[in-house]
Amino acid sequence: MEKDDLLDEIDPWGDEAFLKELQGRLDDIESGKTKGLSWEEVTRRAEAELKKIRSSSK
């Protein structure tokens, strides 16, 4: 099965469990219970993780 074929078969908008999880996360952000991250923080963490992975594979 091709990657694109698999993506065509997945419809998260028709999955009640996915929608419930998504709504719960949105509610947490809007209520202040969960704080989001800035794009700068996301990229900083991703770069640090990649650096760690690359250094451990040498």
- 6 within some domain: no
Please tell me the distance from the alpha carbon of residue 15 to that of residue 13, in angstroms, as a whole number: 6
In angstroms, the CA 58 to CA 51 distance is 11
pLDDT band at 49; cut points 50, 70, 90? very high
Q: Is the predicted pLDDT of residue 1 greater than 60, yes or no?
A: no
17 domain residue, yes or no: yes
Q: Is residue 42 part of a domain?
A: yes
Please state, in angstroms and rounded to a whole number, the distance separating the CA atoms of residues 13 and 35.
24
Q: What residue numbers bound the domain in which 32 lies? A: 11-56
Instruction: Look at the chain and report how many structural domains it folds into.
Output: 1
Q: Residue 16 domain-assigned?
A: yes
- Which pLDDT score is estimated for 57? 81
Whether residue 52 is contained in a domain is answered as yes
- Domain-embedded: residue 3: no
pLDDT in tens, 4-43: 676 677 888 889 999 999 999 999 999 999 999 999 999 9
Residue 4 lies in a domain: no
Distance CA 50, CA 21 (A): 28
- Indicate yes or no: pTM above 0.75: no
DSSP type of residue 57: T
